[in-house]
Structure 1
Amino acid sequence: MGCLKSIPEAPTHQRNISESYKPGNAPITVTRRPRKNMFGAFQANSITDYYEILKAIGSGSLGTLFYAKHIQTQEFRTLREINKLTLKDDALSIVQEISVLKDLDHPNVLKVYEAIETPKSVYIALEYISGHSLMEKVKNTGCETMLARAMLDIFSALAYLHTKGIVHCNICPEYIVQTNGDSYDVITKLIGFTCSQRLNDKQEINLNKIHYQYAAPELLKGEFDEKADIWSCGILLYDLLVGRLPFPGKTKTGIIDCILNGDLDFTNSMFTSLSYNSQDLIKNMLNLDPLKRSTAQQNLIHPMINASKSKISISLDAIKKLRVFKVNNRAARSILAKLNFKLGKEDHEIINYFKEIDENFDGRVSKDELIEAFDRLGIDITGEVDEIMCNMDIDGNGYIDYSELKVTLTEWNEELKEKNLIRCFKVVGDKILIDSLRIELIDIKQLDWIRFLQDCPNDGVNITVTALKNYLKDNINQ
């Protein structure tokens, strides 16, 4: 399930399909999606038509960050404002970041909601993370156990990215944040994707925008693969546990020479006082030869990380939901996915369930992993697993993504309230304009859309909120 699918209302073009309506109903119109610009952004006169700007929370080379509230859903988000007059040199990195983030669906990776272009600026709406950077947390309560839990989340995110052929390229303390909470309620998230690359479509990286102290030797030379991220994690973990970088050199030139030559300090007393497992993990990640460097998936089963895993037993109630969940048609499934995405709720229990089932940490649940999850509770679903997978696999890619598991385990009897539908869709009075709904649900195929309009009561122009709620409830088995 990808992101960047929340779309501002925009002018539409319509054409009648007279054969697609029942006798007595008005003709059904088909709405074509408004065109995007190179950033995947939609046109708007002003950002305040869609967001209430609450306060500025930071600025950098790629724009100003604002804490904002999405007017329609009332959800809090981070808005990055990029002035179009200063955008020319950074346009490629912005395009690259949006291109990467919009297709990602993992609880430890920053979520992007949408991009909006106004006459003066481009705005990217990002997930708002209420918490602190990992470095700030470590300064207060740093210890190997706490860092192992954080690294578990980071390696989970990287295993997912690397499986998709994506390299972050700029991992550093600034781009790792943790949500507020205590102990296992804290979620560590990877952010800062402006330098990220797809391995099958590498672009030139501006090394001036990279935190060079954490950059892998091969990245500085211009040739790299996913192992570059592993080196960065090695420097990161060393820095956080020892309290300084592992380079004898002090100047930028001196540090870069140390990186290129693999000249690292593993003899100082702060490093040698670490546990054997911590030292071993760091050394595995900081091998000068990328081929001999550990992978993200290997790091996930390293003794240091393994010891931090909190084994979560999936409840029988959750397993039952996975088994019985069914949505009767594709349009209803797409609407539930849209609701789940726009409401943006994170349930820590569901995140733990997802990681428990996703045994190889590739960020998706396979048929075999689902069978194994049921088997651990003594339930054999071999004969019905294909049907269960089909019911949960909304985008039809053959796997259960994180958002799809959330749709399955969400208590829809509680969430399918008119106030939530009003938060997610354009409502005037108690009615949703069919054209605006079609824009939001552009992923629904035409025949499924026609069937939806036949099954959900409407007057050819509007659907009432109550009618949509009842339609969804009638189509869900949970």
Structure 2
Amino acid sequence: MGCAKSTPEEITLKKNFTETAPSSSLQSARRPRKNIFGATQTNSITDHYEILKAIGSGPLATLFYAKHIQTQEYRTLREINKMMLKDDAASLVQEVSILKDLDHPNVLKVYEAIETQRSVYISLEYISGQSLQEKVKNTGCETMLARVMLDLFSALAYLHTKGIVHCNIAPENIVQTAGEGYDVITKLVGFTAAQRMNDKQEINLKKLHYQYAAPELLKGEFDEKADIWSCGVLLYDLLVGRLPYPGKTKTGIVECILNGDLDFTNSMFTSLSYNAQDLIKNMLNADPLRRPTAIQNLMHPMLNASKYKISVSLDAIKKLRVFKVNSRAARSILAKMNFKLGKEDHEIINYFKEIDENFDGRVSKGELIEAFDRLGIDISGEVDEIMCNMDIDGNGYIDYSELKVTLTEWGEELKEKNLIRCFKVVDGKIAIDSLRIELIDIKQLDWVRFLQDCPNDGSSITMTALKNYLKSNISQ
């Protein structure tokens, strides 16, 4: 889900995506209606996306490579026919709600859900690369796979901290972006079976990659340690070239999983390094309580040996210290632009991982103090102010997207072409009603102050006025 081997040519499909919807679904300068999927309702998906190419299909959904008309960004569209949902509606709602709540560089990003009369479309990050299964092809390269597992366990540590279990870790659900060496980013995708631990839904075991499923998951009782077992099977499979079970048939494999019957004696496994064998055996412990956590695995010697230590630059640290946005409305606009433009900067990703020492997918006050301290800068007396300036959603931590907002060169990004890509612009102006819909998270008092401070004619704001307003509110 959300990946392809390479960027397809822009060939528009000969398919009619226009659908007739009741007139009541038409909205004029009002908040779009949402359904149980959290989807915006529209007449046709082509009002929002240019469909370029089909890139995959399954029994429930079809994947398309598409261009978002407003931002001109390329996305993966997952089309689900509502008539085919039947008993899968609840699991789809669960999947979308989970993905919308995630913000981590190693986790697939979801942008929005759109509903037409016939289908629900989930807009996902487009990953131009390959699945791990396609890329590795049983190379048995421990160093390469150690870097993959670093990214994977970072993603899982983040998910597990948020009380989310993926439940379907398999090579097909791990994708690597195009590139070489440390420029490659490993992404966790395939969240169709993901579960919140405080709100578990029934899992259709037939849709899981059963070869990688933990014994307790097959029995219906599980927690985050089920993902750790799956990672153990995954690493064994990729390094040895086959699964760790003596059984060959589906029935035989399931019996091996339930009975803990694993093969650690074959010559391919015993030829692995001691650290690789130790990590795999720890993860494939039949007792979930004795398996390591994702965070503990990140400290394992096999992975430590392959860590690429990033030295956060003095320039980046200075930006964190001086960054300030004077109004809450301006903060919200920058966050919206950052989300819609969807850019990924390898340097910012590396900085985020370097500062996030406990791998929970967010930067705490203590971690920020430590990052400055490593460069000989004491910010203990001003850390609260720095955190306040960066913490856009006010949750007390710096999330990945918030770090991106802080380190983005807004002097370069605040151009008319980017405003056009992020907001509905007509004749050089943005309708105030349409902007209010985009910035629904702004409190009413902050919205009133924004309209007082940003020149407007009562119905619209010029791009020049908005750009000048934002620049005047940013210190960088």
Give the TM-score taking structure 1 as reference length.
0.93
1:403 and 1:155 mapped to 2: Cα distance?
A: 19
The answer on 1:374 being equivalent to 2:385 is no
Match of 2:404 in 1: 406
Separation in 1, partners of 2:280, 2:300: 11
1:325 counterpart = 2:323: yes
SS of residue paired to 1:87: helix
State the secondary structure of the residue aligned to 1:82: strand
Report the 3-state secondary structure (helix = DSSP H, G, I; strand = E; otherwise coil) of the residue aligned with 1:473.
helix
The aligned residue for residue 171 of structure 1 is 169
The code of the aligned residue for 2:262 comes to L
**Residue deviations 1:235-290 (CA, integer Å, cap 9, x gap):** 00000000000000111111001000110000000000000000000000000000
In the alignment, the residues of structure 2 paired with residue 434 and residue 141 of structure 1 have an alpha-carbon distance, to the nearest angstrom, of: 56
What does residue 110 of structure 2 align with?
112
For 1:80, which of 78, 102, 106 is the aligned residue?
78
1:350 partner letter: I
User: Is the Cα contact below 8 Å between 2:131 and 2:173 reproduced in 1?
Assistant: yes
1:66 to 61, 64, 67: 64
- Counterpart for residue 152 of structure 2: 154
- 1:37-74: CA deviation from partner (whole Å, max 9, x where unpaired): 01110111000111000100001133000000000000
The ranges of structure 1 where at least 4 consecutive aligned residues each deviate by more than 3 angstroms after the TM superposition are 10-13
User: Could you tell me how far apart the structure 1 residues matched to 2:138 and 2:74 are?
Assistant: 27
Conservation of the 8 A alpha-carbon contact between 2:139 and 2:238? no
Residue in structure 1 matching 2:244, options 227, 243, 246 = 246
1:133 paired residue number: 131
2:333 corresponds to: 335
Kindly provide the amino acid, as one letter, of the partner of residue 372 in structure 1: E
Decide whether the 8 Å contact of 2:166 with 2:194 is kept in 1.
yes
Structure 1 residues 382-421: aligned runs within 5 Å: 382-421=380-419
- Distance in structure 2 (CA, Å) of the matches to 1:40 and 1:354: 30
Aligned pair partner of 1:277 in 275, 278, 301: 275
Matched to 2:233, the amino acid is I
Which residue identity lines up with residue 233 of structure 1 in the other structure? C
Secondary structure of the 2:193 match is coil
Aligned residue for 1:21?
none
Q: Distance in 2 between matches of 1:387 and 1:171?
A: 40
How far, CA to CA, are the matches of 1:142 and 1:436 in structure 2? Answer: 53
Structure 2 counterpart of 1:268: 266
| Root-mean-square deviation (Å) | 1.0
Q: Report matched runs for 1:438-477 at 5 Å.
A: 438-477=436-475
Structure 1 position 92, deviation (Å): 1.3
1:137 shift after superposition? 1.1
- 2:3 corresponding residue in structure 1: none
Within 1, Cα distance between the matches of 2:356 and 2:31? Answer: 35
SS in 2 for 1:338: helix
Q: Secondary structure at the match of 1:66?
A: strand
Question: Which residue pairs with 1:213 in the alignment?
Answer: 211
Identify which of 362, 365, 388 aligns with 1:364: 362
Distance verdict in 2 for CA 1:142–1:474, change over 3 Å: farther
Aligned-partner Cα distance in 1 for 2:32–2:44: 17
- Using the alignment, how far apart are the partners of 1:108 and 1:70 within structure 2? 22
Give the aligned partner of residue 202 of structure 1: 200
1:430 aligns with 2:425: no
Indicate the structure whose relative CO is greater, using CA pairs within 8 Å and at least 6 residues apart.
1
Q: Deviations over 1:290-340 (max 9, x none)?
A: 000010000000000111110000111100000000000100000000000
C-alpha contact (below 8 Å) 2:91/2:201 kept by paired residues: no
The residue type paired with residue 460 of structure 1 is: G
Matched letter for residue 305 of structure 2: A
The corresponding residue for 1:23 is none
1:3 corresponds to? none
* Secondary structure of the structure 2 residue equivalent to 1:130: strand
CA distance in 2, matches of 1:342, 1:320: 26
Q: Equivalents in 2 of 1:304, 1:117: separation in Å?
A: 46
Distance 1:328 1:310 in 2: 36
The separation in 1 between residues aligned to 2:105 and 2:170, in whole angstroms, is 19
Please state how far the C-alpha of 1:12 moved relative to its aligned partner.
5.2
Q: Secondary structure at the match of 1:123?
A: strand
2:220 match: 222
Q: Which amino acid aligns with 2:327?
A: N
Alpha-carbon separation, structure 1, partners of 2:243 and 2:439: 49
Q: Distance in 1 between matches of 2:105 and 2:192?
A: 19
| Contact 2:127 2:177 (C-alpha < 8 Å) held by counterparts | yes
TM-superposed CA distance for 1:35, in Å, is 2.6
Structure 2 Cα separation of the partners of residues 140 and 131 of structure 1? 18
Deviations 1:131-188 (A, max 9, x none): 0001111117551000000000000000000000000000000000000000000000
Residue 446 of structure 1 and its aligned partner are, at CA, apart by: 0.6
**1:91-136 CA deviation, whole Å, 9 max, x = no partner?**
1111111010001000000000000001111100000000000111
2:99 maps to which of 98, 101, 122: 101
**Secondary structure at the counterpart of residue 69 of structure 1:** strand
Q: Is the 8 A contact 2:424 2:434 kept in 1?
A: yes
- Please state whether the residue corresponding to 2:55 is helix, strand or coil: strand
Cα deviation code 1:349-406 (max 9, x no counterpart): 0000000000000000000000000000000000000000000000000000000000
Choose from 35, 38, 41 the match for 1:37: 35
Task: Select between 135-144 and 125-134 the one with higher mean Cα deviation.
Answer: 135-144
Count, aligned residues: 452
Indicate yes or no: 2:52 matched with 1:54: yes
For residue 32 of structure 1, report the CA deviation from its aligned partner: 5.6
Aligned mates of 1:60, 1:179 — CA distance in 2? 23
Could you tell me which runs of 5 or more consecutive residues in structure 2 were left unpaired when the two chains were aligned. Answer: 1-24
Aligned-partner Cα distance in 1 for 2:231–2:72: 36
Structure 1 segments unaligned to the other structure (5+ residues): 1-9, 14-30
242, 256, 259: which one aligns with 1:258: 256
Q: Tell me, in whole angstroms, the C-alpha distance in 2 between the residues paired with 1:279 and 1:60.
A: 36
Instruction: Give, in angstroms, the shift of residue 90 of structure 1.
Output: 1.5
The corresponding residue for 2:5 is none
Amino acid at match of 1:155: F
The whole-number CA distance in structure 2 between the counterparts of 1:142 and 1:174 is 17
Which one-letter code corresponds to 2:369 in the other structure?
Answer: I
